């Protein structure tokens, strides 16, 4: 750990803006700047995550690091910044980690096969309002990895469940529904993420406040798929599942 003194910090700055100012100072002094990740800086890309004083994304609920303002801390408070710590997220430098393991879970099944071409007429596929609302809640996941970092088991169940549930609730997600859950859960296990034992730490730190009820839905989806896709499930169940089924 290295200790820096951040000066010229305003209450309305975000933590990332504080790091920008600090890095400018370090560069002007000929020192190496602190490496951190960011892109959108408006809470939608999921790249900026880090532990702040032991809490994923810091102390403000439902907030990403890029939107966490300095006014949430007292003047002179020490901020202990650490990278996500999980074997599936190798540290690249300082607070930057490689979250490609989450991308690979998506590649395993987080997509639909649909005809390309012009946009279909909006009312041609009817979606019940409750399904649309729940799918929207699940789709809010930004893939930041805070759920993994906060979980004592290092489980990616909340992330995976959000992606599976989002597509399972929509008509467009039906053709691959069973194969998707089996494939994504199998990849989640292969990546080295732990099992979910419902500590609910993931839900507490998720900046998009994704509910653990999606993990319940993922487990139901997995059970349903195990009957529908028996020829695929038989090799898959030879290993214990992160979905806990």
Specify whether the CB–CB gap between 177 and 197 falls below 8 A.
Answer: no
Both tokens assigned to 113: 């096969």
Distance from C-alpha of 88 to C-alpha of 147, rounded to nearest angstrom: 13
Residue 162 within binding range of ligand SF4, rule CB under 6 A? yes
- The smaller minimum CB distance to ligand FES, of residues 37 and 189, is found at 37
**One of 43, 109, 145, 194 touching ligand SF4 (CB under 6 A):** 145
Residue 83 within binding range of ligand FES, rule CB under 6 A? no
Strands (E), 90-228: 91-93, 96-97
- The smaller minimum CB distance to ligand FES, of residues 63 and 219, is found at 63
Write the binding mask 113 to 142 for ligand FES: x where contact by CB under 6 A, - elsewhere. -----------------------------x
Write the binding mask 140 to 169 for ligand FES: x where contact by CB under 6 A, - elsewhere. --x---------------------------
Both tokens assigned to 196: 């979910």
Can you tell me which residue has the tokens 């349903």? 224
Distance from C-alpha of 121 to C-alpha of 119, rounded to nearest angstrom: 7
Residue 43 within binding range of ligand FES, rule CB under 6 A? yes
- Strands 55-56 and 81-82: what pairing? unpaired
Applying CB under 6 A, which residues contact ligand FES?
38-41, 43-48, 64-66, 142
């Amino acid at each position: 750990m290295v200790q820096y003194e951040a000066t010229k910090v305003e209450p309305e700055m975000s933590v990332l803006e504080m790091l920008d100012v600090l890095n400018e100072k370090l560069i002007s002094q000929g020192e190496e700047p602190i490496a951190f990740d960011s892109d959108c800086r408006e809470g939608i890309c999921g790249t900026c995550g880090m532990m702040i004083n032991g809490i994923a994304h810091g102390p403000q609920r439902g907030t990403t690091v890029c939107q966490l303002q300095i006014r949430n801390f007292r003047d002179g408070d020490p901020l202990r910044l650490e990278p996500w710590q999980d074997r599936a997220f190798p540290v690249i430098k300082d607070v930057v980690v490689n979250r490609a393991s989450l991308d690979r879970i998506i590649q395993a099944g987080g997509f639909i096969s649909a005809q390309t071409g012009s946009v279909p007429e909006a009312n041609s596929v009817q979606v019940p309002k409750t399904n649309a609302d729940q799918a929207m809640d699940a789709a809010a996941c930004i893939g930041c990895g805070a759920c993994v970092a906060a979980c004592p088991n290092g489980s990616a169940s909340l992330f995976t469940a959000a992606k599976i549930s989002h597509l399972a609730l929509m008509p467009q997600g039906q053709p691959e529904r069973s194969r998707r859950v089996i494939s994504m859960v199998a990849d989640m296990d292969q990546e080295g993420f732990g099992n979910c034992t419902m500590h609910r730490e993931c839900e507490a730190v998720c900046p998009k406040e994704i509910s653990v009820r999606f993990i319940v839905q993922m487990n139901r989806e997995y059970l349903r798929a195990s009957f529908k896709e028996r020829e695929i499930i038989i090799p898959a169940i030879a290993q214990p599942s992160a979905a806990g089924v």
